[in-house]
Amino acid sequence: MENKEKLEIVGLDEKPKYWDERYMDGIEKMTPRMYDVLKEEDVRMQVRDGVTLAVDIYRPDTEEDIKFPGLVAFSAYGKSIQTMDRISMQFKTVLFDHTIEAGDIYEYVKHGYIVVVPDPRGIGKSEGAWDGLYGRQEQEDCYDVIEWTAALPYCNGNIGMIGISYFSILQPVVAALQPPHLKAIMMVEVVDNMYHHNYPGGVFVNRSFMYTDFCPDVNSMSTAERTYTTEELKARIEKRLSDPDINHSALYSGILNCWPPRNQTYFFDMLLHDDDSDFWRERSIESHPEDIKVPMYLISEYYELGRFSQGPFFLFTHGDMSVPRKLAAPEEHDALHLPHRIMTPEYLRWYDYWLKGIDTGVMDEPPMKLLVRGINKFRYEYEWPLARTQWTKYYLRDGGLLSTEKEKDEHVKPTVLNHKSPYEGGSNETYAVPNVVFRTPVLEEDVEVTGPIVMHLMCAIDKTDANFTVMLNDVPPEGEGRPLNLVTGNLRASHRGLEKKELKPWELNNDHTRKVPVVPGEINEYTIEIMNTSNVFRKGHRIEVEVKNYDANPYHWMVQLPNSQDIEYKIFVDSVHNSYINLPVIPYSDEEQWIR
């Protein structure tokens, strides 16, 4: 049977770009689009402590005595909006709505699935008090929704989970609780470490401020208020307010000065916990990946902010390795559209296999497929980092040069970066973030960089603490556009690694559980994690490393907190103090690895 005929059977007009012509055996066995949709709204269910949740159920409208597998979509964005009738809108467009993330619910039902979408406790029409994102309460409530769904009279007892971002970040920590009827998960955007999602390298990013607007919470209380005594809580607030960077923000200090702390409760928790701690570990799969016992499909988007490019690769390489898993990196985050439909055929293929027992061929493919940016082609891989990686040190050199050759002169003066407080200066000034840039000469041939990246920066600062932001950019030929930021890395200087030990090229040993002040003027080595990427720097382009205090990105609601003090950075580029970025250069790929 021709592949075109197989696609027609399951109702697809064209082959998804991430499907390979060679691995489409079994596509024709997938459940075709054959059911109408029946919606049951505001169904009431109780979780283990007696709190009642409101749930919407979407199921196939059929009189046949058939039981279907269930898909649970769980987030605090509210159930009512998840099936709004609208076209998909691209990220960064004016009308983009970040909260419609459950996916193509009607499409799943038409292919023979029950979809259950609750309002979590304290959200929308549900009882109780919301406890913020991803905490133990939310995990246990989602567990209970999964088991309740499995017991529905028209469910076959096999449950999966759907949705991107919030919906996906919750999946692994719920799976780690091992609900008996959860049989597989599929995640688009996975976070391994929630601390670094909000404090990358210890640098504060206000990404969680947006959840107050995104989540229709009718009753909420912070985890901190539930956890600490009044005296402990007030002491923690006072300590956090003593940070001059926080005190330069009316928003942050205003939230911390509320009593009782019922304004922006999840963001309040995030502000209060500025070091890695049990608060973050409870919400992070990084601390216990071995507890996941169900098959995982991990989707990574290329994104310059957050952990979305780290989490999938962490779960691919950690935990119980007998658990089946697949990984795909199919698109850039800026290409994201909501409602999210690009991966719907892959969801159906995955869950037909694991929840219906249909051999769709999804497990016949190699375990990893990556979109290689720069050339925009898909390729199969088997491990991470790639076994054929040539770890190549690109040294920061005098005059803004980035070179694979080390400096030979020990007397070269350091490169100086002067960070100026953005809170000072004329009110009508356009503030540009001070930076220093290091570029390779024009490339004489293509250079592919695929894998994890670490920056080793030899630097002295004139204060006891400072932010580092490092950006890896692809610089096109003159006149062909601006440099493209591929990935970013951050580190708070007081979180530097103090323990010296042998590390693999992609490893770090920074300590984010405490702050150790820097001795002003002391030269330290700062190892900075740069996010995973896959990109071909084309012939005629240049590789660029940019260093600054913070990233003034275009997301006005997701901003790194700059240091409020002026800071002088001396970046050492001499032959004794080598500053370099260790890039995973891929020397070749077999023709058979490329997706057709």
DSSP character string of 369-437 = EEEEBTTTEEEEE-SSS-TT-EEEEEEEETTTEEESSPP--TTPPPEEEEE--TTSS-TT------EEE
Q: How high is the pLDDT of residue 328? A: 94
Please give the C-alpha separations between residue 48 and each of 137, 143, 179, 444, 512, in angstroms, as whole numbers.
11, 10, 13, 64, 35
Q: State the Cα–Cα distance between residues 120 and 264, nearest whole angstrom.
A: 17
451: left (phi over 0), alpha (psi -120 to 50) or beta: left
Q: Which residues contact residue 434 at a Cβ distance below 8 angstroms, ignoring those fewer than 6 apart? A: 417, 418, 419, 420, 548, 549
Please give the C-alpha separations between residue 388 and each of 96, 182, 587, in angstroms, as whole numbers.
40, 36, 7
Tokens of 41: 């709204």
Q: For the chain, how big is the Rg over CA atoms in Å?
A: 25
Give 526-559 as a 3 state SS string: EEEEEEEEEEEECCCCEEEEEEECCCCCCCCCCC
In the sheet where 114-119 sits, what is the strand order?
Answer: 36-46, 52-61, 114-119, 68-72, 155-161
Tokens of 388: 């054929």
Q: Angle, to 10 degrees, between the axis of helix 265-272 and the axis of helix 230-241?
A: 70
Sign of the CA dihedral with 108 first, then 21, 370, and 475 last: negative
> Quick check: 567 and 461 in contact, CB under 8 A?
yes
> Quick check: 220 and 131 in contact, CB under 8 A?
yes
Among the listed residues 47, 364, 323, the one whose alpha carbon sits nearest the alpha carbon of residue 185: 323
How crowded is the C-beta side of 281, counted as CA atoms within 13 Å? 8
Please report, for the chain, how many H helices and E strands are present, in that order.
Answer: 14, 23
Q: State the Cα–Cα distance between residues 402 and 437, nearest whole angstrom.
A: 9
319: left (phi over 0), alpha (psi -120 to 50) or beta: left
Q: State the Cα–Cα distance between residues 530 and 543, nearest whole angstrom.
A: 15
> Quick check: 64 and 37 in contact, CB under 8 A?
no
For residue 491, list its beta bridge partners. Answer: 468
Q: How high is the pLDDT of residue 426? A: 46
> Quick check: 224 and 235 in contact, CB under 8 A?
no
Measured in degrees and rounded to the nearest 5, phi and psi for residue 46 equal -110, 135
Measured in residues, the chain has a length of: 596
Q: How high is the pLDDT of residue 556? A: 54
Q: State the Cα–Cα distance between residues 532 and 309, nearest whole angstrom.
A: 6
Please give the C-alpha separations between residue 584 and each of 126, 195, 328, in angstroms, as whole numbers.
49, 26, 19
Structural domain spans, the chain: 3-196+282-365, 204-275, 390-587
In this structure, the dihedral spanned by the alpha carbons of residues 488, 493, 498 and 504, taken in order and rounded to 10 degrees, is: 10
Please state whether the peptide bond connecting residue 339 to the residue before it is cis, i.e. omega within 30 degrees of 0: yes
Q: Which residues contact residue 536 at a Cβ distance below 8 angstroms, ignoring those fewer than 6 apart? A: 372, 373, 374, 375, 446, 447, 448, 449
Q: Which residues of 113-144 are buried (b: 16+ CB within 10 A; e: fewer)?
A: bbbbbbbbbbbbbbbbebbbbbbebbbbbbbb
In this structure, the dihedral spanned by the alpha carbons of residues 276, 279, 282 and 283, taken in order and rounded to 10 degrees, is: -80
User: What is the CATH topology of the domain spanning 3-196+282-365?
Assistant: Rossmann fold (3.40.50)
> Quick check: 114 and 55 in contact, CB under 8 A?
no
Give 199-258 as a 3 state SS string: CHHHCCECHHHHHHHHCCECCECCHHHHHCCHHHHHHHHHHHHCCHHHHCCHHHHHHHCC
Mean pLDDT by 10 residues, the chain (596 residues): 90 90 95 96 98 98 95 96 83 76 95 97 94 94 98 98 95 98 96 95 88 82 93 96 90 91 91 95 97 96 83 97 94 74 93 98 96 95 98 98 97 97 62 91 98 98 97 96 94 93 92 97 97 97 97 68 94 97 98 94
Q: How high is the pLDDT of residue 427? A: 45
Specify the residue for token string 């580092």.
468
> Quick check: 32 and 365 in contact, CB under 8 A?
no
Among the listed residues 535, 532, 486, 542, the one whose alpha carbon sits nearest the alpha carbon of residue 372: 535
> Quick check: 344 and 560 in contact, CB under 8 A?
no
Tokens of 552: 């003034």
The hierarchical CATH code for the domain 390-587 is 2.60.120.260
Q: How high is the pLDDT of residue 94? A: 66
Q: State the Cα–Cα distance between residues 313 and 284, nearest whole angstrom.
A: 15
